[in-house]
Structure 1
Amino acid sequence: MKPEPPILSEGLRLFFPAAAIHGAIWPVIWVLLYAFDLPLAGSVPTSQWHAHEMIFGTYGMALAGFLTSAVPEWTNTPRWRGNSLLALLGLWLPGRVAGLVGADWMIAPSGLTDAAFLALLSWAIIDPMIRRRNTSHAAFAVWVPTMLGLEIAIRASWILGDHALSQTLLQSALIVFVILMALSVTRINVVTINHAIDPTGETRRYRPHPGRRNLAGALTALYAISAVILPTSQAPAFLALAAAAAFFDRLAEWFIGRPLFRAEVLALACANLLSGLGLTAIGLAGLGLPIAPSAGLHIVSMGALGLAVIAVLSIAGLRHTGRDLLLPGWSHAAFVLVLVAVLVRVLPELGLADGLVGPHYALAALAWAAAFACWLRGFLRFMVAPSDESRQELTVG
């Protein structure tokens, strides 16, 4: 019997490169070939296709890689591997083709495959938790199915031509990813900070504050719900500011002295900081201050989530292939490029870089794509190579 290739032995080995390829290639095609237009675009605004692809394309596949590897660790159940992973990948791909060309006739069929992908991913999370009666990570079993519901609603609103509703739903999906990011970082940060403090692993000096584990995510969830049901009220703005305060409070977890300046630790801290800054901008804009609401959304979508995703791809990519947590220079370059992308994209919206107005769309997209290309350059060889199982560690707490 032909041996199974290493890339099919665990979800992150296949899905992390798929997410990075999507993040590296799709923006380049949009910028260099399409000039931000889509060749078959119809009634759906191209900006919504682009937002959908960032959330359900790049971030969706990165989330699948993380959860199909982390949940078996949390529940002590077998990993999904081989054909099961290929089935998930096969369901994810049609939606990416639709997002690349923007054809209206592909909305329904690619929506069905995207929904099937999220439904299968939800089952991969819920089933082992039920079998092991594990409730400590049950929040993921709530929010991933929520993404499934939002995907169905977005596709339905596109088909019905209600693009104002689909825009609101896309923003809600983005905020749900912020919640998932907060939950994921809380868990992966335990190993990351302890390793930074004591690389020998002989001690585990850091323990997360119990009150901080879920507060930021819970307040962000309240903001997302209120933004949908109370769109004309100022209540969502105040809840956004409350969620921002919770993210700022979490920064205390990174008061660890010099180890903070290790790239993997600093990237997670900056992702948390940018979440707070983005939600602050959203809240202040909602209260009537002269801040473009899109600025806050881009700080969150490109800055906070971009850094968090690259960090998780790097940290878990090393640990789950049996390597020490010493990030290669390609990861450092990816972190810098994500920050460049968000600064170039946001500063003109804040009136701080008028000279970039116009070219900033293309420059930000190219810097963003280059960040994922750097990760691929540094990590693809790890994903396809056998690992030393004896050196693997848990990447989550």
Structure 2
Amino acid sequence: MALAGFLGSAVPEWTDTKPVQGRTLLHLAGLWLPGRLIGFLGMEAGSLFAGFFDLAFLLALSILIGRAMLARRTMIHLAFLIWLLLFTAAEAGVRYAWWSGDLELASRFLEAALCIFTVLFSLSAARINVVVINLALDPGGETTRYRPHPGRQHMAGAMVTLYMAAKLFFPQSDVCAWLSLAAGAAFFDRLAEWFIGRAVFKTEVLLLGLGNAFAGAGFLALGATRLGFPVTPAAGLHLLSVGALGCAIMAVFIIAGLRHTGRNLTHLPRQAHAAALLMVMAGLVRILPEFDFAATLSPYHHGLSAVLWAASFGVWLQGFLPFMRAPGIDEAGACG
């Protein structure tokens, strides 16, 4: 849903088209909800039903953002549509392999879906970073001192794509390990341009940076596992999912929660800082027991990480709900 929310609002903004709203938005939520309810209730018999609605939801979202691009006859943002369709295919692959009893194939498709989600994060961050960091350096928006190198912006996504293809089609090859290490290095290389002074410690900037750092560490861990280092495969996967994607999603929630309600990023509410801290803690608690030096935290880390993750979004909602109920108006009654 976080991906749908981002694409459903960002693509219309980029293409200057009308965003999804009203009955269409309600229908989209109706396609998304059954799968969540079935998963929450643990109804294994309803997994086929849930899969149907999940695929329908992703295809409907693809049609909506594709229609926005077609209306403006632009292909600038076509990469998002292509990756969303690939994500849909990976989701279908997971369902097919699971229903056919091939758990090894299902795990490969599941990792491919995670890689696609990471590529979408990489593409999104390439656009978001520039705006957010320049506003952190110059809140007035009069200058754009931060101009990242295009190669650094896109190398991470390219390396993840190569790793994903190798892992999906040649899972036994050691090439997967080296491509994973290359993907991790590419994410850390992105951070080489984040030496921007004290502005890097602003919550919204730091959280995006930590998303890249978690992603880099995740792919390095996956590569190290394949090369025989004493690290479980779950460590890398959870660094990517709970850590990287968790930080990225919360960063977007904070940034969009302010900018889309007519406010700026100059003064973040205290709940934004607390939500960011809780999300980082959720990522760390989830993966630390996977390493030998923190094994004593197991088996409590699963539940504790889930509580911290949920608390992060709960704190965010408590702080940002008043903004969403009164968009464009701050506590003093003035437009942001």
The answer for the alignment partner of 1:331 in structure 2 is 272
Greater mean alpha carbon deviation, residues 159-168 or residues 266-275: 159-168
Residue 78 of structure 1 pairs with residue 18 of structure 2: yes
Do the aligned partners of residues 279 and 391 (structure 1) sit closer, same or farther apart at CA in structure 2, a change above 3 Å counting?
farther
The answer for the alignment partner of 2:283 in structure 1 is 342
Equivalences for 1:1-397 in 2 at 5 Å? 61-325=1-265, 326-387=267-328
Superposed CA RMSD? 1.5
Structure 1 segments of 4+ aligned residues over 6 angstroms from their partners: none
Paired residue secondary structure (1:213): helix
Counterpart contact for 2:246–2:283, Cα < 8 Å? no
Do the aligned partners of residues 231 and 385 (structure 1) sit closer, same or farther apart at CA in structure 2, a change above 3 Å counting?
same
Counterpart contact for 2:166–2:176, Cα < 8 Å? yes
- 1:290-320 deviation digits (Å, cap 9, x = unpaired): 1111111111111111001000011011101
Higher relative contact order (CA 8 A, sep 6+): 1
Inter-partner Cα distance in structure 2 for 1:233 and 1:353: 30
Q: Report how far residue 123 of structure 1 moved.
A: 1.1
Q: Report how far residue 278 of structure 1 moved.
A: 0.7
Task: Name the amino acid aligned to 1:155.
Answer: R
The answer for the alignment partner of 1:52 in structure 2 is none
Identity of aligned residues (%): 51
Inter-partner Cα distance in structure 1 for 2:99 and 2:192: 46
Inter-partner Cα distance in structure 1 for 2:193 and 2:61: 30
The answer for the alignment partner of 1:12 in structure 2 is none
Task: Name the amino acid aligned to 1:121.
Answer: L
Inter-partner Cα distance in structure 2 for 1:168 and 1:97: 25
Inter-partner Cα distance in structure 2 for 1:288 and 1:275: 20
Task: Name the amino acid aligned to 1:174.
Answer: L
Where in structure 2 are there 5+ consecutive unaligned residues?
A: none
Do the aligned partners of residues 202 and 139 (structure 1) sit closer, same or farther apart at CA in structure 2, a change above 3 Å counting?
same
Counterpart contact for 2:119–2:157, Cα < 8 Å? yes
Inter-partner Cα distance in structure 1 for 2:102 and 2:328: 49
Q: Report how far residue 383 of structure 1 moved.
A: 2.2
Paired residue secondary structure (1:272): helix
Task: Name the amino acid aligned to 2:154.
Answer: N
Task: Name the amino acid aligned to 1:376.
Answer: L
- 1:37-64 deviation digits (Å, cap 9, x = unpaired): xxxxxxxxxxxxxxxxxxxxxxxx1111
Where in structure 1 are there 5+ consecutive unaligned residues?
A: 1-60, 393-397
Inter-partner Cα distance in structure 2 for 1:204 and 1:221: 30
- 1:188-244 deviation digits (Å, cap 9, x = unpaired): 111101110001112222223111232111110111111010111111111111111
Paired residue secondary structure (2:206): helix
TM-score normalised to the size of structure 2?
0.95
Paired residue secondary structure (2:240): helix
Inter-partner Cα distance in structure 2 for 1:354 and 1:238: 27
Task: Name the amino acid aligned to 1:104.
Answer: E
Q: Report how far residue 164 of structure 1 moved.
A: 2.2
TM-score normalised to the size of structure 1?
0.80
Counterpart contact for 1:182–1:217, Cα < 8 Å? yes
- 1:59-114 deviation digits (Å, cap 9, x = unpaired): xx111111111111211111111111111111100000111123222111111111
Q: Report how far residue 385 of structure 1 moved.
A: 2.6
- 1:139-186 deviation digits (Å, cap 9, x = unpaired): 101110111111222222222222222222111111111101111111
Inter-partner Cα distance in structure 1 for 2:281 and 2:178: 29
- 1:313-369 deviation digits (Å, cap 9, x = unpaired): 110111011012132111211121122222222111101223212212211111111
Task: Name the amino acid aligned to 1:144.
Answer: L
Q: Report how far residue 391 of structure 1 moved.
A: 6.2
Task: Name the amino acid aligned to 1:128.
Answer: A
Task: Name the amino acid aligned to 1:264.
Answer: E
